Structure 1
Amino acid sequence: MTYQPVLPLGGYTGWRVLQRTLDRQEANFNKSAPVQRATDYFKANIAKAKTAADLVGDRRLLEVALGAFGLSEDINSKAFLRKVLEGGTLNSASLANKLSDKRYAAFAKAFGYGDGGARTGLSTFPDTIISRYRAESFEQAVGEQDNNLRLALNLKDSLAETAASTTNTNAQWYYLMGNTPLRSVFETALGLPSTLSAVDVDKQLAAFKSRSEAVFGTSKLSDFTDATRQEKLIRLFLVRSEMQTSAATPAAMALSLLSRS
């Protein structure tokens, strides 16, 4: 049985509790039998996956590979995944680069099938993917109880990847806008509507940058790798998420109607 994270509270208070117990909880989760079996198999067999077809043809390997990038829901989309992997990321016209969700590009780049050859035989490769898989799986387990805490946990690594993707500020924002979990955190923390995605992409960029400057004093995403600014972002995200949830309860709606009468 997989270890279930202990989350006695939600919101920002719950986040602070989770941070204090995180190392112990992650260690217990990683030692659970299902996680141990999955990672042991991956480490022993991933070098055999010399092609994209090999990887998608081994469900146990694929489960860890996809889980490491938060793409577990695609486990049965073998033809699609093979095309993503074989196209790689070096060609701007490749499928991975065309998809708005940048997790696919990260997935294709990590395995390297379409970028000069498989990286699966490298000595450091199994541990790199396993580390990501453990972190993502723990976040998923947290998300099954509280998805907002899952998004907060995902933030640090996602911001680091965004900052590393390019040094161009606008390009970093475009990368964020294509990363659904990361975008959700920023939209909520900045008080932007979820319907923003329906407008022109350049107008979305302007909205994100102007609100970020107003709320955090910077429009540079690379500045959010700073721990203090990152914690403020998480606090705003969780507080505003709770406010949105409270506003949607029957009691809150009834109070709102009475206040207008």
Structure 2
Amino acid sequence: MSFQPVVPLGGYAGWRFLERTMERQQEAFNKSTVVQRDLDYFAEKIGKVTNAEELVGDYRLLKVALGAFGLQDDIGSKFFIRKVLSEGTSARDALANKLADKSYFKLAEAFGFGGVGAPRTQEPGFAEEIAEAYRERSFEIAVGEQNDDMRLALNVERELTDLASNSSGDDSKWFSIMGSSPLRQVFDTAFGLPTSFAAIDLDRQLEVYREKAEALFGSSDAAQFADPDKREQLIKMFLVRSEISAGSAGYSSGQIALTLLGG
């Protein structure tokens, strides 16, 4: 039995529906046979895995490991994933530290194959930690099959919460946002930036992001998105602008402004 999330509406109205029904829908999804079968296998086998080679060599384990970090599309790139995992994150020149997408860093850090001592696969509670992330990501993907904008909005709630509240500097936070494809799509759309914007000088991109954030949210600081109200405002801007861009809402310029400002 497989539960498919229900997203009957698009745009911000659809997001509000999803928010109201999220707990019940996610609970039903987590009980799906396919999800539970994957996680039962992972819990049974992962404690015996001691290196990257063994993890990459088991398709079912790798499916859960990558899925927990939103990297499920890389399941065929075994050499690349093995290198990310085996080098770990301790060495400055480790591959995970060089990649703009920090999902690879989180993957390598979580499994701990490149460090000193036993990997984290041997730790109590590790399987459930990865399982929880896998459930959350898998639900996002299932929602995305109904409406991809809703998947991106869910990603904002999860990823931006952690990023905005961590101890890194403001530059680092903004660069992490720009290095995350899902977050970048949300911010670029909310800020009204063209697709070509991503091709300009990175420092100039940072300046524009700060200018837009200041104008729209009252602060240029990326840490402001630790505030759930600011995240909700961002999601609303993204969904409204995305719906307008898709041509599904015949708003005038005045109606657009009222939609973005109002409830």
Tell me the TM-score normalized by structure 1.
Answer: 0.92
Residues 46 and 61 of structure 2 are in contact (CA less than 8 Å); yes or no, is this contact kept in structure 1?
Answer: yes
The answer as to 2:226 corresponding to 1:225 is yes
Matched length: 249
1:157-196 → structure 2 map (5 Å cutoff): 157-196=158-197
Aligned partner of 2:253 in structure 1 is none
Residues 100 and 178 of structure 1 are in contact (CA less than 8 Å); yes or no, is this contact kept in structure 2?
Answer: yes
- Distance in 1, matches of 2:179 and 2:148, equals 19
The answer as to 2:131 corresponding to 1:130 is yes
The residue matched to 1:241 in structure 2 has which SS?
A: helix
- Distance in 1, matches of 2:48 and 2:245, equals 48
Aligned partner of 1:21 in structure 2 is 21
- Distance in 1, matches of 2:217 and 2:132, equals 31
Aligned partner of 1:246 in structure 2 is 247
Measured after TM superposition, the shift of residue 34 of structure 1 is 0.2
Measured after TM superposition, the shift of residue 166 of structure 1 is 3.8
Which amino acid is 1:122 matched to? E
Residues 243 and 249 of structure 2 are in contact (CA less than 8 Å); yes or no, is this contact kept in structure 1?
Answer: no
CA RMSD of aligned residues (A): 1.5
The residue matched to 1:109 in structure 2 has which SS?
A: helix
Q: Deviations over 1:44-80 (max 9, x none)?
A: 1111111001100111111000000111111111111
- Distance in 2, matches of 1:40 and 1:164, equals 32
Which amino acid is 2:55 matched to? L
Which amino acid is 1:119 matched to? R
Aligned partner of 1:81 in structure 2 is 81
- Distance in 1, matches of 2:69 and 2:83, equals 17
Name whichever of 113-122 and 214-223 sits farther off.
113-122
The answer as to 2:99 corresponding to 1:90 is no
Residues 156 and 225 of structure 1 are in contact (CA less than 8 Å); yes or no, is this contact kept in structure 2?
Answer: no
Residues 65 and 130 of structure 2 are in contact (CA less than 8 Å); yes or no, is this contact kept in structure 1?
Answer: yes
Residues 68 and 130 of structure 2 are in contact (CA less than 8 Å); yes or no, is this contact kept in structure 1?
Answer: yes
Which amino acid is 1:77 matched to? S
Measured after TM superposition, the shift of residue 247 of structure 1 is 7.5
Aligned partner of 1:255 in structure 2 is none
Which amino acid is 1:87 matched to? E
- Distance in 1, matches of 2:182 and 2:115, equals 26
Measured after TM superposition, the shift of residue 206 of structure 1 is 0.7
Q: Deviations over 1:61-113 (max 9, x none)?
A: 11000000111111111111000011112222211111121111111111111
Residues 173 and 221 of structure 1 are in contact (CA less than 8 Å); yes or no, is this contact kept in structure 2?
Answer: yes
Tell me the TM-score normalized by structure 2.
Answer: 0.91
- Distance in 2, matches of 1:102 and 1:45, equals 26
The residue matched to 2:35 in structure 1 has which SS?
A: helix
The residue matched to 2:247 in structure 1 has which SS?
A: helix
Name whichever of 36-45 and 161-170 sits farther off.
161-170
Q: Deviations over 1:12-47 (max 9, x none)?
A: 000000111110100110001000100111111111
Measured after TM superposition, the shift of residue 145 of structure 1 is 1.3
The residue matched to 1:246 in structure 2 has which SS?
A: coil
Aligned partner of 1:113 in structure 2 is 113
Measured after TM superposition, the shift of residue 126 of structure 1 is 0.8
- Distance in 1, matches of 2:230 and 2:115, equals 35
The residue matched to 1:144 in structure 2 has which SS?
A: helix
The answer as to 2:58 corresponding to 1:31 is no
Q: Deviations over 1:178-198 (max 9, x none)?
A: 111011111111112221111
Aligned partner of 1:207 in structure 2 is 208
Measured after TM superposition, the shift of residue 10 of structure 1 is 0.8
- Distance in 2, matches of 1:115 and 1:178, equals 25
Aligned partner of 1:197 in structure 2 is 198
Q: Deviations over 1:136-167 (max 9, x none)?
A: 00000000111100000111221133235543
- Distance in 2, matches of 1:108 and 1:101, equals 12
Instruction: Please identify runs of 4+ aligned residues in structure 1 that moved more than 4 A.
Output: none
Paired-residue identity, %: 50
